[in-house]
Every structure is written in C-alpha cells, then in structure tokens.
C-alpha cells in the first residue's frame, strides 16, 4: 500500500508554506552535497535532527527510512577501507585497512544520512500535490507540473489494480519462483496493466477535452509568504553560510571535529 505517512501534522515545519520548504530543501541539498569534509557534515547532520524533531516525526520511523540507504552504506564500508589505500591502520596477511577508505566511508555515511533526513523533514511532510505547486511557483515548466499532478493522481488507483491482479494470481495458486512460467506471468500482468492504463488515458484525455482543455495549465495556487517563512529561509541561508565557511576552513571548529 502506498502511503504518504508524514504529510499531515501540526508541527512548525508543517506550518511553513510548501514553497518555503521546497526552496529550503533544494538549497540545503546542494550545499550539503558539495561539502567534502567531516566538520560541516556533522553540522548538517545536527541540523537534520533538529528539522526532524521540529517536524515532529517519530524518530523510530525516521530511523526506519534510513534503512533505504543501509544496503549501499554497508557495501561502502565493506569495500572502501580495503581498496582505497592511504596510511594502513590495521592489517593481516590478506587484508589491509586504509585510512582514506575509512574517512571516505564516514563522509558518505554522514552526508547521505543528513540529506535523507532533511528531505524527509522538509519534503515528505507535504503532499505531492503541494510539492508540485511549489515547484511550479519555483518555475518548473507547467507541462512537467501537470504531468506530475496526473501521475500522482493515478498511482494509487493503478497500485490498487496491480495488487488485486497479484491477489487473483495467488488465488489460482501462482507461486513466484525463478522460472520462465513465473516471468511470463509477471510480464502478462504488467502488459495488462499497461493496456488498461492506455485505455484509461484515452478516456481521461476525452474527459479533459470536455472540460475545455487545450494544453495550457493554469495553477490555482498562490503563495503569500509570512514572517515565519522569511525567518526560516534566513535561518537556512545563515546556516548554509556557516557550512560553506567551515568547509573552506575559514571557520574552524575544535580539534575533535
């Protein structure tokens, strides 16, 4: 079942306008993505925790979302320390663990986690419809926004169709395994899903014609920024400046960092 788990709420983050949140999330994502040293990334991780708490997202649920990147991080931690060289910090007759790899793996872990949590706190706390309108107000092309809205509208319906078909296959004793019969069955299910979607698309297009649609998209949403929006954006701007300064070693934090 597809669900937007965090998009309803009463937190200070939810009260910001979607456009503010989207702008902040995009800006922060690029700033953090470009950091290459540990101290600013620790700051970014701290910020991500603050945002998660401000959005009143259950820490356990946020942690579960981090599992998405766990597989990749595990691979990084297994491979990089053995392959990147640098000063050796541990070795036996087969393996050498190098410092460069450890640092790189640590860097990536901090960065991906911080970025994922920031995205979770700022973007997953709004519905995709709000995100689409926010992106429109940030000058994403109207056609792409319309596409995003229509796609979002129909994923739930189509997922439901797919689940029901999978159930119907199960009812008839279908058991997924590594076999041609299995792949053929999946291919047929998907083919049917595509066919039905294409038929539906035809009907939807006709319905749009009936409503006078001529290819132009008019958005209804208007954003009126309030004090809290300006305050939040300024905060993000100042914070990003500190990140940049510490990345460039103009601001230096205590030695443990």
**CA 92 to CA 161: how far, in whole Å?**
56
**CA 230 to CA 236: how far, in whole Å?**
10
Binding mask 26-45 for another protein (x = CB under 8 A): x--xx-xxx-----------
Dihedrals φ, ψ of 205, to 5°? -60, -40
For the CB of residue 170, give the shortest distance to another protein in the complex, in Å.
7
Judged by beta carbon, residue 83 or residue 241, the one nearer another protein is: 83
Residues 48-87 that bind another protein (CB under 8 A): 65, 68-69, 72, 75-76, 79-80, 83-84
CA angle 134, 139, 140 (to 5 degrees): 80
**C-alpha dist (Å) from residue 72 to 29, 67, 68, 97, 187:** 19, 10, 8, 19, 29
Q: Which long-range contacts (CB under 8 A, 24 or more apart) does 214-221 make?
A: 216/142, 217/142, 217/143, 217/145, 217/146, 219/133, 219/136, 219/137, 219/142, 219/145, 221/133, 221/136, 221/137
For the CB of residue 37, give the shortest distance to another protein in the complex, in Å.
13
Judged by beta carbon, residue 137 or residue 197, the one nearer another protein is: 197
Judged by beta carbon, residue 1 or residue 255, the one nearer another protein is: 1
Judged by beta carbon, residue 13 or residue 120, the one nearer another protein is: 120
Residues 103-122 that bind another protein (CB under 8 A): 104, 108, 111-112, 114-116, 119-120
For the CB of residue 255, give the shortest distance to another protein in the complex, in Å.
25
In the set 11, 37, 137, 185, which binds another protein (CB under 8 A)?
185
Residue (of 54, 66, 32, 23) closest to 121 by Cα position = 54
| Segment interacting with another protein (CB under 8 A) among 9-17, 48-56, 148-156, 231-239 | 148-156
In the set 15, 58, 63, 143, which binds another protein (CB under 8 A)?
143
Judged by beta carbon, residue 11 or residue 185, the one nearer another protein is: 185
176: contact with another protein by CB under 8 A? yes
97: contact with another protein by CB under 8 A? no
88: contact with another protein by CB under 8 A? no
In the set 42, 53, 165, 251, which binds another protein (CB under 8 A)?
165
Judged by beta carbon, residue 215 or residue 254, the one nearer another protein is: 215
137: contact with another protein by CB under 8 A? no
Residues 189-248 that bind another protein (CB under 8 A): 189-198, 200-216, 218, 220, 222
């Amino acid at each position: 079942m597809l669900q937007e788990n965090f998009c309803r709420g009463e937190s200070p983050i939810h009260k910001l306008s979607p456009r503010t949140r989207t702008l902040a999330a995009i800006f922060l994502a690029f700033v953090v993505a470009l950091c290459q040293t540990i101290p600013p990334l620790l700051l970014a991780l701290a910020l991500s925790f603050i945002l998660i708490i401000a959005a009143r997202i259950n820490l356990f649920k946020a942690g579960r979302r981090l599992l998405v990147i766990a597989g990749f991080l595990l691979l990084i931690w297994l491979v990089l320390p053995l392959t990147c060289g640098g000063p050796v910090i541990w070795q036996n007759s087969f393996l050498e663990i190098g410092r460069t790899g450890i640092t790189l793996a640590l860097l990536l872990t901090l960065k991906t986690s911080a970025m994922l949590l920031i995205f979770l706190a700022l973007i997953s706390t709004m519905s995709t419809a709000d995100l689409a309108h926010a992106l429109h107000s940030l000058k994403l092309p109207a056609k792409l926004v319309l596409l995003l809205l229509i796609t979002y509208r129909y994923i739930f319906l189509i997922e439901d169709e797919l689940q029901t078909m999978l159930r119907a296959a199960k009812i008839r004793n279908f058991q997924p395994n590594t076999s041609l019969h299995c792949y053929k069955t999946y291919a047929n299910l998907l083919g049917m899903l595509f066919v039905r979607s294409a038929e539906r698309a035809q009907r939807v297009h006709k319905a749009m014609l009936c409503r006078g649609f001529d290819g132009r998209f008019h958005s209804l949403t208007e954003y009126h920024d309030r004090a809290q929006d300006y305050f939040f954006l300024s905060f993000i701007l100042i914070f990003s400046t500190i990140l940049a300064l510490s990345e460039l070693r103009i601001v230096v934090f205590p030695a443990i960092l």
